[in-house]
Chain A
Amino acid sequence: MREQGTSVIYISHKLSEVFDLADRVTVLRDGRVVGVRALAETDVASIVRLMVGREISQLYPDRGERRGAPMLQVRHLSRGERFQDVTFDLHRGEILGVAGLIGSGRTDMALSVFGASPTDGGEILIDGEPVDIESPVKAIDLGMAYLPEDRREEGLFLDMDVTANIISAHLGSFTSGSLMDAREAEAEAGGFAETLDIRTPSLEQKVLNLSGGNQQKVVVAKWLSTKPRILIVDEPTRGIDVGTKAEIHTLLRGLANEGVAILMISSELPEILGMSDRILVMHGGRVKGELSMDEASEDSVMSLAVG
């Protein structure tokens, strides 16, 4: 189109695409233009610095200390065509990355582990004890949390405000008697808004009006509020700007360091390689392989992912 003389304005935060396609780039932050550059004269780091307003030394934080005992053990879990014979251990303090192409059964498997879908075979053990996770209610009781793949459809109540969303996974904790305690709820929400740096004009803002990154932070806050021991995150930084991505990665590593067991499903290879302590690769509903970080590379992951 450019050859034909059409002017193209290409809006994206995928920097690889921007550098591939564009001649010039204008960077906006917080509603203002913060810089205009010719792409030939700049690099990714400078653009990122403009976008975020500060240096991001690392998109992926350092890995943590040694991991602990297995907290979640999945044995031969199956559900019809969607996934079969899935077996793995998830340890305290580790981030287990789950890689695979779309349709490899990762999300289906995660939803079954979380009790949101049935299984027709296999068992799940938590702290060594077999458990029957018949619904998300039970899963949450057992200390699990699930950050869904599609935050708008599955994680957020778009017409409700920030506070209402943050308390939504355990309303019972914010009551006195059987009545809601607004002050406790607001205090919890306010606390998370600060620690996670959720940008919103007020806690009464409808979540619909927040940016993708801030919406994701609200979902993160909602689940952190339940103080989970096992956290499943499904595409945690999809559709989010670079700065918030880094914040979420730091947060996840921080949780792992505190002993939370994290199962991270991601389709972004750099994220899988940057964040995981171990990598599980799925294809066609089955676990094709498990890679230690020494063995892991774009090639080794991809070759397992394509079958």
Chain B
Amino acid sequence: MSASHGDSGAGEESRVAAWRTALMRIARAREVSLIVFIVIASTVFTLMTPHFLTMQNLLVVMSGLAMDAVIAVGMTICMVSGGIDLSVGSVFACSAIVLAKLISLGFPVWSAIILGMFVALLWGALTGALITRVGVNPLISSLGVMGMARGVVYVITSGRVISNLPKSFQNLGQGNLLGVPKLVWVALAAVIVGDFFTRRSRALRQVFYVGGNEKAASLSGISVDRVKMGVYMLIALLSGLAGIFETARFGSASSPMGTGKELTAISACVIGGASLSGGEGSVLGAFLGLILLGLVRDALILNDVSVYWQGLIEAAILVAAVAFDVLVRRRRGR
């Protein structure tokens, strides 16, 4: 901060300095390193196979990660609050199954969608209540809800798939809009809105304070319980929404759907800069993390790498990202 001397020369210098620090801060941002990584990785993959850099292939990759992106928006916010939610995959499935069952029983599509979302909200409220009222930690609370929601899925379906869903419903998740799959638009909307609001909305900024120092947040007049409740209901809602859209895309809902989505979401968030202890995270970063993971998986498939290697390699990327993060922070003397 330099005092202005009412002289245009000194003012000019401080303005240039301000621009430079702003630029340096942007350059150091996690999102930029991720974009660089993605560009480098894509270049390598393109050299490995000509099929990589085609519009068709890239759209397949994007469609595959679209609903993970919606979930990742919620997971980012959850991790920023200092928590975690392992139930996203089960809530994803439960909303989808409830919706599919209602439609197959003759309910109108829109009411089935609303009820499916409502079910997700209830699971979120349960997780939130376990954490704020009962005091169970988020890991165990969400683990429990993960099991219960999945259990409900099996009870409803008895293990069977629900398909033959009406075309009017499937239309929501299939087809393109301006050459891009509808679900990719949904994902982009979620990411853009999510990133904007986590940076600028007062309600979501409170989540950063809660995650940064819960005790100080409480003593600063922030309703910690209310914030946490909101967070867990939001992430559940987004998971349910994702499940419903995915059902529209495939025209069916199955019992094991969504399994493993929690790990993908958490990995993406951590790669994107979220800290497990809370207070930090970026929706855009998580989205870029998903893209990186998606491109790697895609390249492995195009190169005929056995599917068993995929899990190993994705987990290795996560470990590398976290290690890189820790080392960089230590060097900065944090």
CB under 8 Å from chain B, chain A span 193-232: 193, 201-204, 206, 208, 222
Q: In the complex, what distance in Å separates the CA atom of A204 from the CA atom of B216?
A: 20
In the complex, the chain B residue whose C-beta lies closest to that of A182 is B200
B202 near A136: Cβ-Cβ < 8 Å: no
Count, chain B residues at interface, CB 8 A: 25
Q: Which of the listed residues A137, A140, A190, A208 has the most CB atoms from chain B within 10 Å of its own CB?
A: A137
Binds A, one of B4-12, B49-57, B219-227: B219-227
- Asked if B206 is at the interface (CB within 8 A of a chain A CB), the reply is yes
CA distance A91 to B219 in the complex (A): 24
Say if the beta carbon of B167 comes within 8 Å of chain A: no
Most chain B C-beta atoms within 10 Å of own C-beta, residue among A146, A157, A158, A178: A157
B298 within 8 A of A: no
Cβ of A45 under 8 Å from chain B: no
Chain B binding site: helix, strand, loop or mixed by DSSP? helix
A232 to chain B, nearest CB (A): 11
The answer to whether A140 touches B213 (Cβ under 8 A) is: no
Report the separation of the CA atoms of residues A289 and B334 in the bound assembly, to the nearest whole angstrom.
Answer: 46
B123 at the interface (CB under 8 A from A): no
Contact string against B for A residues 122-158, beta-carbon threshold 8 Å, 1 for contact and 0 otherwise: 0000000000000111011000001010000111111
Determine the chain B residues whose CB is within 8 A of the CB of A172 once the complex forms.
202
For the complex, give the distance between the alpha carbons of A207 and B195 in Å: 24
A222 to B217, CA, bound (A): 12
Closest residue of A by beta carbon distance from B200: A179
A153 touches which of B203, B209, B216, B220 (Cβ 8 Å)? B216
- Contact in complex: B216, A155 (CB < 8 Å): yes
In the docked arrangement, what's the CA distance between A222 and B219, Å? 12
B1 within 8 A of A: yes
For residue A303, CB closer than 8 A to chain B, the reply is no
Residues of B within 8 A of A190 (CB): 1
Task: Check B279 for interface membership: any CB of A closer than 8 A.
Answer: yes
In angstroms, Cα B222 to Cα A206, docked, is 21
> Do residues B221 and A137 form an inter-chain contact, with CB atoms below 8 A?
yes
Report whether A179 and B221 are in contact in the complex, using a CB–CB cutoff of 8 Å.
no
Residue of B nearest to A146 (CB): B219
- Excluding A137-B221, A153-B216, A180-B205, 9 further A-B contacts by CB distance (< 8 Å) are A148-B216, A155-B219, A157-B212, A157-B216, A178-B201, A179-B201, A190-B1, A193-B1, A202-B21
Q: Tell me the A residues contacting B by CB distance below 8 Å.
A: 114, 116, 135-137, 139-140, 146, 148, 153-160, 168-172, 175, 178-180, 190, 193, 201-204, 206, 208, 222
Interface residues of B (CB under 8 A from A): 1, 21, 25, 200-203, 205-206, 208-209, 212-213, 215-223, 279-280, 334
Can you list 14 A-B pairs, Cβ within 8 angstroms, ordered by A?
Answer: A136-B220, A146-B219, A153-B213, A155-B216, A155-B219, A168-B209, A168-B217, A168-B222, A171-B202, A175-B202, A178-B202, A179-B202, A190-B1, A204-B25
